[in-house]
Amino acid sequence: MQTQTHPLIAPTLGTARNLTSFHYGPGGGQKIYIQSSLHADELPGMLVSWALRRKLAALEGAGKVRGEVVIVPVANPIGLNQHFLGHLTGRFETNSAQNFNRNFYELSALIQPGIEARLTDNLDANRTAIRAAMREALDAQEPVTELESQRLALQKLSYDADVVLDLHCDWEAAMHLYTNPDLWPEVEPLACYLDAKASLLALNSVGNPFDEIHSFCWSDLRGRYGDRFPIPNGSVSVTIELRGQREVSYEYAERDAQAIIEYLTSRGVIDGTAAPLPALEFAATPLAGAEPIVAPISGVLVYRCEVGTWVDVGHEIADIVDPLTDRVVTLKSTVAGVLYARHLTRFATAGLEFARIAGAKAFRSGSLLSN
Ligand SMILES: [Zn+2]
């Protein structure tokens, strides 16, 4: 194992932060990149990274790690230090109001149009040429802020990985994941091992979140040049939502870390025989089919349905109770699917989006992610 330290731009006098990455295996084969807590207040993944590091150390000691596995347990030291009146604000940078998981460098745009002249009829050579162009483009960036330098440092560690896993969680949620539809055949075994209750597919949900920045580039290049040059999926990139924010436990961390180890074993990154593949309980659905449930009035939010359960059309999801008028509004699902996430709050403001159901039919367009 090798440890690397990546200094960020110092934001203020007397303050400096670093990213730390841990590198397992001899290199030379597949590269796997796993980071956690890019939204700094999402801690289940940090414990999974800790459990993964222990497992990888043992596997490396036994000579069983092929290729390279990179773990960045603390992907957002900026966000981890944003405490206000006892509350950790880890999703947005307080100085810029930017979401920590948006606005990554768009590799596809950065390597065009020069990449066209470097493509050939050889798939592997094209993968190598595209990655080289990505590296040159990232090296040419000149970040000014600490936040930009954090994004760039993460991308320099991950841009050439064959598999990128970004470990997040939701407020209250069942295990679910986001990935690119082109990658689904390669991601489905991971969803099975993790026992994901929803797998949400989107090519480009707008906003350049971390997982999409890795996969979209290859899909985009294939769309532009694929009729003339063979272009692979250079990065199997997935956002894993490790249930809800409070679901930090040794039991979950052990289970989820082992699921990732099984997936890496099935890919040949770790020597051995992977556990038998469990069946996937619920089929993948388009992210554009996910129905947000919205509170039409303000009031006390009373849930009537647990996350991870299948709901049919008309299923009662929650009530909004107004104690001043005695009005009770019941919100129902208009699609069938798994209720995969819901809000932490129990107080609804008018217009609050408080739950999401993984419907099978795409009906939304534009920006598909919440802020
Ligand atoms: Zn997140």
Q: Residue 38 C-alpha to ligand 1 middle, in angstroms?
A: 7
Give the mean pLDDT of the chain: 96
DSSP of 101-165 = TS----HHHHHTTGGGGG--S-HHHHHHHHHHHHHHHHHT----SHHHHHHHHHHHHHTT-SEEE
Task: Please give the distance, rounded to the nearest whole angstrom, from the Cα atom of residue 44 to the centre of ligand 1.
Answer: 11
CA of 224 to the centre of ligand 1 (A): 31
CA of 159 to the centre of ligand 1 (A): 20
Distance from Cα 230 to the centre of ligand 1, integer Å: 34
Query: Could you tell me which residue, 368 or 180, shows the higher pLDDT?
Result: 180
Mean pLDDT value across residues 116-144: 97
Distance 169 CA to ligand 1 centre (A): 5
How far is the C-alpha of 143 from the C-alpha of 104, rounded, in Å? Answer: 12
Beta strands in 41-118 (DSSP E): 67-72, 83-84, 87-88
39-64 pLDDT tens trace: 999 999 999 999 999 999 999 999 99
Neighbours of ion ligand 1 (CB under 5 A): 39, 42, 168
CATH class belonging to 286-359: mainly beta
Closest alpha carbon to 165 in 30, 342, 60: 30
CATH classification for the domain delimited by 2-266, as one of 3.10.50.40, 3.30.505.50, 1.10.150.20, 3.40.630.10: 3.40.630.10
Residue 176 has pLDDT above 70, yes or no: yes
* Angle between helices 123-139 and 146-158 in degrees, nearest 10: 160
Residues of the chain with CATH 3.40.630.10: 2-266
Which of 201, 198, 197, 230 minimizes the C-alpha distance to 215?
201
Q: What is the mean pLDDT of residues 78-105?
A: 96
The reported pLDDT for the residue numbered 371 is 67
pLDDT of residue 207: 87
For residue 69, is pLDDT > 90? yes
Query: How far away, in angstroms, is 205 Cα from ligand 1 center?
Result: 15
Looking at residue 204, what is its pLDDT?
Answer: 79
Q: How far is the CA of 170 from the centre of ligand 1 (A)?
A: 6
Please say whether the beta carbons of 218 and 231 come within 8 A.
yes
Contact 102, 209 (CB under 8 A): yes
pTM recorded for the entire structure: 0.96
For residue 25, the CA-to-ligand 1 centroid distance in Å is: 28
Q: In angstroms, what is the C-alpha Rg of the chain?
A: 21
- Taking the C-alpha atoms of residue 292 and residue 342, their distance in angstroms, rounded to an integer, is 9
The reported pLDDT for the residue numbered 365 is 76
pLDDT interval class at 113 (50, 70, 90): confident
Q: What is the Å distance from ligand 1's center to 171 Cα?
A: 9
Ranges in the chain annotated CATH 2.40.50.100: 286-359
The Å distance, Cα 310 to ligand 1 centre, comes to 23
**Helix crossing, 250-266 with 44-61: angle to 10°?**
50
Calculate how far, in angstroms, residue 144's C-alpha sits from the geometric centre of ligand 1: 24
